[in-house]
Amino acid sequence: MPSKTNAMRTLDQRKVPYSVFTFSPDIHSADGVAAALGIPAATVYKTLVVLRPAGRPLLVIVPGDRELDLRLLARSLVEKSLSMAGHREAEALTGLQVGGISALALLGKGFDVCIDRAALSLDLGQIVVSAGARGLNLRLRVSDLVAVTGARTVEATAGAGA
């Protein structure tokens, strides 16, 4: 068992059940994680850092088999415009490496958390997200992820393969 991350400690403290998956830390994409673990990319979610013109940055959790649609997300949040943080900016804002950014590891750090509506229809209600470090992911119930992070459900992707 790998050493506990802040995300795991948070879930343990709240008695939220989860499973740990390990894979090569050289894999930085949700698609790569899905392939390495032999699970559908639609169940592996990536956490993206999105910037507002004013206000706190967002952590947006979207399916690994979809692309974030910034215009759709802006409409869902009633924001004029949004932009993606670049790799360096995302890492500077979160203190985590791209490929290991996790809303569970960033609780209380000033981020608003959003999750794509697609998560609500996952088989068995289970989602796979980063544990806060490259090479570690967690599987837990979507409802638990939303409850712990306070995530707002949004329209953030247009559909599979978008």
Contact criterion met (CB below 8 Å) for 142 and 126: yes
> Measured in whole angstroms, how far is the alpha carbon of residue 78 from the centre of its chain?
21
Residue 28's SS3 state is coil
b/e burial code for range 12-43 (CB count within 10 A of at least 16 → b): eeeebebeebebeeebbebebbbebbebebbb
Mean pLDDT for 58-78 is 95
How far apart CA 116 and CA 7 sit, in angstroms, is: 20
The confidence score (pLDDT) of residue 3 equals 82
Mean pLDDT for 48-66 is 94
Record the tokens describing residue 91, joined without a space: 């890492």
E strand segments, 14-154: 19-22, 45-51, 58-63, 83-84, 112-116, 126-133, 136-141, 152-154
Record the tokens describing residue 98, joined without a space: 């791209």
6: left (phi over 0), alpha (psi -120 to 50) or beta: alpha
The CATH classification number of 20-154 equals 3.90.960.10
Mean pLDDT for 84-90 is 95
* Helix (DSSP H) and strand (DSSP E) numbers for the chain: 5, 8
Least confident of 53-57, 80-84, 116-120: 53-57
Domain positions in the chain are 20-154
pLDDT band at residue 17, thresholds of 50, 70 and 90?
very high
**Mean model confidence pLDDT for the chain:** 92
